[in-house]
Every structure is written in structure tokens, then in C-alpha cells.
Amino acid sequence: MNKKQFEELAKNPKFISGIYNYCDRWCRRCSFTQRCMTFALCEDKFDNPQSKDISNKIFWDKLGDIFKVTLEMVKETAEKMGVDLNSIDLEKAAKHEERIHKIVEEQLYTQTAIEYVKMANNWFDSNKELLEDKADELKTQIEADIPGIKPVDEAIGIKDCLEIIRWYQHQIYVKLCRSAGGMIQDESEEIEYYLHDANGSAKVAIIGIERSIMAWGRLLNQFPQQEREILELLVNLKKLLRMVETAFPDARAFVRPGFDAIN
């Protein structure tokens, strides 16, 4: 897809503007795929197994094409706005980013989020056998076809919980880093945009935390012998939720394009 085709696609009124900015990127589970330009672009570019395989050259060539078109458009927009990209002081910008990165890492909520990533990883690492045993048990029950027992539903439920936990595990941290960065762009002329974006990213993080809490809660029912470990994870997530709500009191009210309002 070249720049002209990209611009034509962007004009299509069926797309909800900016819907992809505050979603959870779980396209497989998203009900707005037909109204999302990012999804349409990915479908167009990454339309076969080779183009989705990061070890295949085709994937990198297609990604390179997207970057080329994006760069072209950034240059064009900068020109229209009278911004000379060559005049940007890269050293100063790098120092600014470094400062923001340091402050982001100092926030208690980003530290708690990274702690959660490690705790969840530890849980998965130490419970491989438990999960395998459960899978074997459910397989045997399916084969035995015992009336009144629904092993298929149980297996689907467990798989769903594991997928949810894995999907949001890192995303919560990443979104909170973005939110924290937005709150401390204090020297920027675009402070309003950054605050808006910080709240939007915090909302996505809140949704991820709540879905993870729900998934761990369901897993606890399946693995009561894991009560202590899972409760520790839940305590960490609940603590994180309170921290995020305190740091971003307006996040819940943030209106995500498409998801909270149909454009």
C-alpha cells in the first residue's frame, strides 16, 4: 500500500477515528474489527502466514513498507505545519526522554505493575505440571463421557482465564508507563493532549487489571490448592488498581472512541 492508497483508506467513513489508540490490541476478540483502520491495514499487509511470521523476510519487508509510508506522511505533515525536522535538537530530546523514563520507573504503580509481571511469570513457571495434570484429567473425563460432568466447558474456561492473564500481564505495565509519561510532560506546550492520553492509557490499564482479577478469581475456583499463591497475586492486583485510580482519578470517565462511544 502506498501513501495515496493509505490516504484513501483513511477517508473511509466506516472507520472510527482513533479507536485503536485506547483498545487492548486483542483483535481476535474485538467486535470492532470492521470499523478499525489499523485492523484493515494489518489485514492488507499481513494477509498470509509468511507475512505474520517474524522470522520470515516477508514480514520485515512489509513492516518496512509501513514505516516508509509513515515517515513520508510525517515529513509531509511537518512541512505543512512549518516544522523543520532537521532542526530538532536530538541530544536535548534524548535527555528529556531519559528524564521521563527515570520518573516513570520511580512511580509506585509502575513498580507494582512490573512486580505483578514477575509474580505471574513465577506462577506459570512453577505450575506447569499442575496445568498439565489438569489437562490430562479433563481429557480422561472427556473420554469417559460421564453424565453430569462438563469437562469441555471446564477446559474452555481454564484456557480463557490463562489467555486473559497472559494477554494483559505485560500490557498493564506498558500502558501505565505511558500514563505516567503523559502526566509528567510538564514542560510541553501540549500538556492537555498528554493528560488526555494519560487518562486513556490508564483506563486501558484499569480494564486489563480488572479482567485479570476476574480471570485469577476463576482460576482460584479451579485450583483451590493454589489459594495462597493466587490470593497473593490478587492482593497485588487490587493494590495496583487502587494506586492507578488514585493517580488517575479521571481515567474511568475517559471515553474511548468506539468502545465507550460510537462515532
3-state secondary structure 134-176: HHHHHHHHHHHCCCCCCHHHHHHHHHHHHHHHHHHHHHHHHHH
Q: Choose between 41 and 220: whose C-beta lies nearer to ligand SF4.
A: 41
Asked if 20 is part of the footprint of ligand SF4 (rule: CB under 6 A), the reply reads yes
The nearest distance, CB 66 to ligand SF4, in angstroms, is: 14
Output the CA torsion 203→204→208→211 (10° steps).
Answer: 70
In contact, 137 and 236? CB cutoff 8 Å: no
Asked if 39 is part of the footprint of ligand SF4 (rule: CB under 6 A), the reply reads yes
The nearest distance, CB 50 to ligand SF4, in angstroms, is: 21
Asked if 241 is part of the footprint of ligand SF4 (rule: CB under 6 A), the reply reads no
Asked if 40 is part of the footprint of ligand SF4 (rule: CB under 6 A), the reply reads no
In contact, 99 and 175? CB cutoff 8 Å: no
The nearest distance, CB 115 to ligand SF4, in angstroms, is: 27
Q: Choose between 39 and 194: whose C-beta lies nearer to ligand SF4.
A: 39
Burial class (CB in 10 A: 0-12, 13-18, 19+), 102: exposed
Q: Which cell goes with 38?
A: 489499523
d(CA 206, CA 131): 28
Asked if 164 is part of the footprint of ligand SF4 (rule: CB under 6 A), the reply reads no
Count CA atoms closer than 13 A to 246's CA, side-chain side. Answer: 9
Asked if 243 is part of the footprint of ligand SF4 (rule: CB under 6 A), the reply reads no
| CA distances from residue 131 to 21, 154, 155, 197 in whole angstroms, order as listed | 35, 13, 11, 39
Count CA atoms closer than 13 A to 96's CA, side-chain side. Answer: 13
Phi first, then psi, for residue 31 (nearest 5°) are -95, 5
Asked if 6 is part of the footprint of ligand SF4 (rule: CB under 6 A), the reply reads no
The nearest distance, CB 30 to ligand SF4, in angstroms, is: 3
> Which of 66, 65, 73 is closest to 38 using CA atoms?
66
Q: Which of 1, 18, 32, 119 binds ligand SF4 (CB under 6 A)?
A: 32
Asked if 33 is part of the footprint of ligand SF4 (rule: CB under 6 A), the reply reads yes
The nearest distance, CB 39 to ligand SF4, in angstroms, is: 4
Span near ligand SF4 by CB under 6 A; candidates 16-24, 75-83, 91-99, 248-256 = 16-24
Q: Choose between 27 and 234: whose C-beta lies nearer to ligand SF4.
A: 27
Q: Which of 1, 9, 18, 26 binds ligand SF4 (CB under 6 A)?
A: 26
Q: Which of 15, 30, 204, 237 binds ligand SF4 (CB under 6 A)?
A: 30
The nearest distance, CB 139 to ligand SF4, in angstroms, is: 32
Asked if 36 is part of the footprint of ligand SF4 (rule: CB under 6 A), the reply reads yes
- The footprint of ligand SF4 (CB under 6 A) covers 19-20, 23, 25-27, 30, 32-33, 36, 38-39
